[in-house]
Amino acid sequence: MSLRSKFFFALLALGPLTLRAQTLPRIHSMGNRFVNTQGDTVLFRGLSVADPDKIEREGHWNPALFEHVRDMGATLVRLPVHPSAWRARTPQRYLVLLDSAVRWCGRIGLYVDIDWHSIGNLETGLFQDQIYNTSLQETFSFWRTIAQHFTGNSTVAFYELFNEPTTYNGQLGRVSWSTWKKTNEDLIHLVRSFDRQTVPLVAGFDWAYDLTPLHEEPIDAEGIGYVVHPYPFKRGQPWEPRWDEDFGFAAGKYPVIATEIGFEWKEGDPADGAEHYGTRITQYLEQHGISWVAWVYETTWWPGMLKSWDTWELTGCGRFFRGAMHAAGR
């Protein structure tokens, strides 16, 4: 038996009861905040890693990865699960990866966001790339499996129900907010039949950027949060008034978390300058009480924060987000 096989069978043998022994204080959604069991406001600052399937296949899936994430200043790590990887590895074997991450993170004080990482129109069944291909049935099945498996484990703070809903400017067909609203409400109902405590996260349209439908039709569910991905190319400058209009207003009433922010850094870029996107978006989110997660702690995905797995050397955007998290956490 190979070492990899022994690793998987050993983790399977541990089972969910051992997994639940390593937990952190429960996170809840209250008003427009995320709070801990004492009712104290928790503003998360975190990092997204690559798909765990990719990381494991490349030989880097181990506790050291999450220790480096924590040392960057993160309090939350996002685990993006691509539907194609979920199917190829099989749910049972993919759960082994997630179990190990949750166990490692619980031991070092990192919360976890499990993200169903698809991009496209779930209603029409059309997606931006083959790796994102899924279906309503598979999406509901995924969340039934995840919620049943991780119920009782408070290290898993968030279930991010769908990464980036988009019609791709009509190329993926039409979908109304009312339809998307009902789909998410049905997903939340399903999740809560197994797990009533982990916080579901709902993304807006335009690749998880536009939350303006909340003015008229918020999700009919308590104890949830909303997702935004405010990349610099989403709107022209000046950014701040557009951010106010598109998602910032929602933070006055609901918990909001930017589960992806990021930028490409080039040599000579004033990445820590007052007018730079990185500075402005992190300051904006902090001032509005919006938790944030930087994309992506990885060597090959854009815009990567790592230059090398061997040395853990950071790129310019990696250095920026390390500094931003440490400064904000003081």
Average pLDDT, the chain: 93
Residue 253 CA to residue 205 CA, distance in Å, equals 19
Higher pLDDT, 100 or 23: 100
In this prediction, residue 10 carries a pLDDT of 43
In this prediction, residue 22 carries a pLDDT of 47
Share of the chain above pLDDT 90, in %: 88
In this prediction, residue 272 carries a pLDDT of 60
CA distances from 48 to 5, 61, 198, 221, 246 (A): 27, 14, 19, 26, 23
The answer to whether 118 touches 168, Cβ cutoff 8 Å, is: no
Provide the number of structural domains found in the chain.
1
Give the DSSP per-residue string, 250-275. Answer: GGGTS-EEEEEE-----TT--TTSTT
Q: Residues 157-172: what's their mean pLDDT?
A: 98
Tell me, what amino acid is at 175? Answer: V
The label of the residue with tokens 């987000």 reads 321
Q: Among 88-102, 163-177, 254-268, which is the least confidently predicted range?
A: 254-268
Residue 118 CA to residue 104 CA, distance in Å, equals 25
In this prediction, residue 271 carries a pLDDT of 55
CATH number of the domain residue 309 falls in: 3.20.20.80
Domain hosting 197: range is: 3-329
The answer to whether 181 touches 219, Cβ cutoff 8 Å, is: yes
Query: Which 3 state secondary structure label does DSSP give 190?
Result: helix
Confidence of residue 266 (pLDDT cuts 50, 70, 90): confident
- pLDDT tens readout for residues 268-308: 776 567 889 999 999 999 999 999 999 999 999 999 999 99
The answer to whether 199 touches 159, Cβ cutoff 8 Å, is: yes
Interacting residues of 195 by C-beta distance below 8 A, sequence separation 6+: 147, 148, 150, 151, 152, 159
The answer to whether 303 touches 265, Cβ cutoff 8 Å, is: yes
- pLDDT tens readout for residues 173-198: 999 999 999 999 999 999 999 999 99
Q: How far apart are the first and last CA of the chain?
A: 48
Q: What are phi and psi of 16, to 5 degrees?
A: -70, -25
Residue 226 CA to residue 200 CA, distance in Å, equals 8
Residue 268 CA to residue 142 CA, distance in Å, equals 44
The answer to whether 36 touches 27, Cβ cutoff 8 Å, is: yes
Q: Residues 70-90: what's their mean pLDDT?
A: 98
Angle made by CA atoms 248, 79, 279, in degrees to the nearest 5:
40
Q: Is the CA virtual torsion 183, 187, 188, 189 positive or negative?
A: positive
HSE-up (13 A, CA, CB side) for residue 246 = 22
